[in-house]
Structure formats: C-alpha cells, structure tokens
Amino acid sequence: MKNKGTGFFLTLLLVLVTACSNDQGETVEGTEPVVAVPIVTSIGGSLNDNANAVIATADGGYAVLGHTQSADGDVTDKTDTSFDYWLLKYTAEGTLQWSKRYGGSGDDRGNDIVETTDGGYAILGYSTSADGDASQNAGAQDYWIVKVSAVGELQWERSYGFSGRDEALSLIQTSDQGFLVVGELDVTASQGEGITLQRQRHAGGNYWALKLDSSGMLEWSNFFGGTFTDSAFEVVATNDDGYLIIGSSDSNDVDISDNKGSYDFWVVKIAAEGSLLWQKSYGGSEIDQARAAVATGNGNYLIVGDTRSSDQDISLNNGGADVWLLNIDNEGNILWERTFGGSAFDVGRDICPSQDGGYYITGSSRSLDGAITTNKGKNDVWLLKIDESGTLEQQWTFGGSEIDFGHSVTQLQNGIVVVVGESASTDGDLTENKGFTDMIKIELR
C-alpha cells in the first residue's frame, strides 16, 4: 500500500535529482546479503510535497500518489498553493513519463492508488474542494475517488461524506470491476448516519466502508466501531469474496468486545455485502496501531504497524515503539508475531511481497541500536527485508539530519525495490531540499 496515515506531513511527486548512497544495507547474521545500490531522489517545489503510495504497474514501471502544495520546482501545472492530489508515472528504470495533479481550491490529499483492469488508475484520499476537478463537497473533508486513464486523463470523480472530517485511506478494485473504499467517518457530523444510542459518547471516528460500482456510484455503505476513535487504514480482499479492514481502535463497546488497552490493532472481517462477520483486537496495554496488511497467498494475512506495548499479544518490545508484524489466519487467530526496532521510536507503514517469497516493510526509525546500525538524524526512512516466517534478513536506513519517513514500498518486475515518502533533509543521502518537505523516492537496484 502506502502511507495510510493521517497526520504525517504532506504528499508526493517526481522529477529527477538523484543522490547515490554508499549504504548497502545491514545484513542480519546468518543470511545472504542483498547487493543493492540505492538511488535517493528529492521531488517537489518550495512548499510541502509528499508521497503516500507507490504501486508496480503492468508495464513493468510504477506509479506514485501523494499531494503537492507547491506551484514551482517539479510541479509544472499548478498556479496556486492549495493542496492537490499528485500522480506520477515512471518507467521500470525510473524515468518520469508524466505527472498530473487533481483538485480544486481547497485541501485535497491523495492516500492510495490502484491500477485498474482497463489500464488506468483509481486514486483516493480526501477533498475539501467543491470546484476545479471536485464537483461537490458535503463539508470539511470528504472521501474523494478519482478515475483516470493510463495517461492520467480524468475520466470521473465522486465525493462521499457528511459535514465533518471524513477521510478515505485505502481502496481495492473488486472482482466485479467496482471498488471497496475504507477510511474514517466523522460520526458526530454524519447527520445521524453513524450515530446510534450506544455511540452518543463517540469522540473520534468509525471505520467507514463504501462499495462502489465500476463508475464510482454507491452500492452500499456500512460503518463499524465503538464510542471512541476507530480509524481504518487498509482493506484486503479475502479468498472467500469478503474483505478484511485493518486499522486501530481505542473503543471497547458496540462492535468491539475485546480491547486490550489503549489503542489496539483492530481487524474487521466483512462479507461481500458489507455485513460484519467477526472482529478482533490485538495488542497490549499501551498504544498499538495497525497501518497496512497483505494476503500471504495461503489464506493468511500479515499486518504491520507499531507497538508501544510489551505484554499480552506482544512478546518483546525493544524500547519506545517497535515495528510490530502480526500473522493471522482467515478466522483471525494469531499464528505468530514479531517486533523489530531499537530503544527509540520505530514504526511500520507499509508491507509488500518480495519476489523470493518474503516481504519488504517500510516506515521510519529513530534508533541507533538493536538491528539498526545507522541513523542519519531524527527519523530515517527504514526498509526491512524479512523471509516468509518473519525473520529479519536485511535492513537499510535512508535520510539526513531532519525528519525522513517511508510511507509505501513495492517491488517491480525487474526486481528493483521502490520506497516513497517524505523528507525535510538537505544532507546525508539527500543533496537538496526544495521546500518545507519533499517527496523522497528511493530505488534499491
């Protein structure tokens, strides 16, 4: 996936300014090293630019989605400083083919992208605009889904929301060529749609799932959660035509019966028509937040996020926050779990399969101990390679003396691993910073 993450900096973009790092990655003892040459690129203009999602495309290349506030530098089709979705398409060798932005005069930020079966793209996030490319807005933030062609031409767009802050964070294309979209519903502003007697004390959001047809028209809507804050960051199709929705929750009522303490990983299994089949909480007594998930191909699922706990479902905490990886079966039973990190704050934001049967995880690290032997300053982009059983094989850090964050990772057909996120650094692996925050793009060849 991508940065399924509310509250982390800004968005995305691409154009070339590359800096090569000598860091070949730290290999865990007993594993064979992956020889990789990283190419680190800053992309953006004089304001805030951030990448939240990267996907491998059918032509062997990749596409990046995020948002831009800039109207200069690498952003060539923008005249104001409002935030817009920013979509960039690259070849397999990292050459920019085209970049497009979509939005209006308000705040429009892209969070997720899928390549559709017709060769185009569906891009998703939130919008506060009711002009430009956005035809309507119900108030504050709305879910905003945009369908574009293979060369980025806008084909249709749809907004869904109420008067509050409703943010869409993940989508998949469904087997009927429609879409399943999830994010967070602002319950108290939903005009009764998300409010029941039990939810009157609600202080945050609920998981909100929308099933759309192939043209983006609503087929059904359902919400899940309790009376506190429930935020959905990822949706995954299951092999029985249902869906898993993954996120975090600090509720312990209504739909949630087994909160472990503070925020938990919260997983909801729903049927094809949106009915709740089961729900489970995972974590310990502290804050545990799930951000991304992937089906493993054998009916099981890997969920990644971060944990501050050291009890209950978490067998080890190295200090501060660790990346927490959870393997569950189709009924939500824990098969195994792993933590990765050092004594500071280390978090996971995305996971993708690798060609050798393992997985790549990206996020950020502030540590300089444990498995992490290099920290360039503050938060670094952190990339981990694990095998199919969750054993750490190799890890890399990228960044400079300021905050650098990895939001999304994918592996291309040619084996290149691409990580995207955001950076405020001007040193270390970065040769320049074009504004407040730039998109950071890392190709590991």
pLDDT band with cut points at 50, 70 and 90 for residue 442? very high
C-alpha dist (Å) from residue 7 to 105, 118, 139: 21, 33, 19
DSSP string, 260-327: -SSSEEEEEEE-TTS-EEEEEEE--SS-EEEEEEEE-SSS-EEEEEEE---STT-----SSBEEEEEE
Question: Is 315 domain-assigned?
Answer: yes
Show contacts of 245-251: CB within 8 Å, 24+ apart: 245/182, 245/207, 245/209, 245/270, 246/290, 246/291, 246/292, 246/293, 246/303, 247/207, 247/289, 247/290, 248/288, 248/289, 248/290, 248/305, 249/225, 249/281, 250/204, 251/225, 251/226, 251/227
pLDDT band with cut points at 50, 70 and 90 for residue 203? low
Q: For position 187, what pLDDT does the model report?
A: 87
Question: Is 361 domain-assigned?
Answer: yes
Give me the CATH number covering residue 358: 2.130.10.10
Identify the residue whose tokens are 């993450």: 5
- Tell me the residue range of the domain where 400 lies: 18-444
The yes-or-no verdict on residue 120 having pLDDT over 70 is: yes
Distance CA 11, CA 45 (A): 12
Q: For position 361, what pLDDT does the model report?
A: 98
Question: Is 409 domain-assigned?
Answer: yes
- What pLDDT, in 10s, does the model give residues 205-217? 899 999 999 999 9
- CB 40, CB 430: distance < 8 Å: yes
Biggest CA–CA distance in the chain, Å, is 59
- What pLDDT, in 10s, does the model give residues 272-296? 999 999 999 999 999 999 999 999 9
Distance CA 324, CA 303 (A): 8
With the C-alpha atoms ordered 204, 207, 213, 215, is the resulting torsion angle positive or negative?
A: positive
- What pLDDT, in 10s, does the model give residues 149-198? 999 999 999 999 999 999 999 999 999 999 999 999 998 888 778 765 55
Question: Is 328 domain-assigned?
Answer: yes
Collapsed DSSP state (helix, strand, coil) of residue 393: strand
Question: Is 12 domain-assigned?
Answer: no
Cross-strand partners of 401? none
Distance CA 254, CA 269 (A): 16
Distance CA 77, CA 162 (A): 30
Q: How many CB atoms lie within 10 A of CB 10?
A: 25
Please enumerate in sequence order all residues whose Cβ is within 8 A of that of 298, keeping only pairs 6 or more positions apart, or say none: none
Q: For position 201, what pLDDT does the model report?
A: 53
Of the chain, the percentage scoring pLDDT greater than 90 comes to 83
Burial 318-340 (b: 16+ CB within 10 A, else e): bbbbbbbbbbbebebeeeebbbb
CA 432-385-92 angle, to 5 degrees, is: 60
Q: For position 28, what pLDDT does the model report?
A: 54
- CB 145, CB 134: distance < 8 Å: no
- Section 143-152 average pLDDT: 98
C-alpha dist (Å) from residue 174 to 112, 157, 213: 15, 18, 9
Higher per-residue confidence, 33 vs 307: 307
Please enumerate in sequence order all residues whose Cβ is within 8 A of that of 395, keeping only pairs 6 or more positions apart, or say none: 25, 26, 28, 340, 371, 372, 382, 383, 384, 385
Cross-strand partners of 421? 406, 440
The yes-or-no verdict on residue 413 having pLDDT over 50 is: yes
Number of domains in the chain: 1
- What pLDDT, in 10s, does the model give residues 2-57? 554 433 333 332 333 333 333 446 555 444 445 568 999 999 999 999 999 999 99
- What pLDDT, in 10s, does the model give residues 64-112? 999 999 999 999 989 999 999 999 999 999 999 999 999 999 999 999 9
- Section 363-380 average pLDDT: 93
Question: Is 147 domain-assigned?
Answer: yes
Single pTM value for the model:
0.92
Question: Is 252 domain-assigned?
Answer: yes
Q: For position 371, what pLDDT does the model report?
A: 84
Question: Is 7 domain-assigned?
Answer: no
- What pLDDT, in 10s, does the model give residues 222-273? 999 988 889 999 999 999 999 999 999 999 988 999 999 899 999 999 999 9
Q: For position 17, what pLDDT does the model report?
A: 31
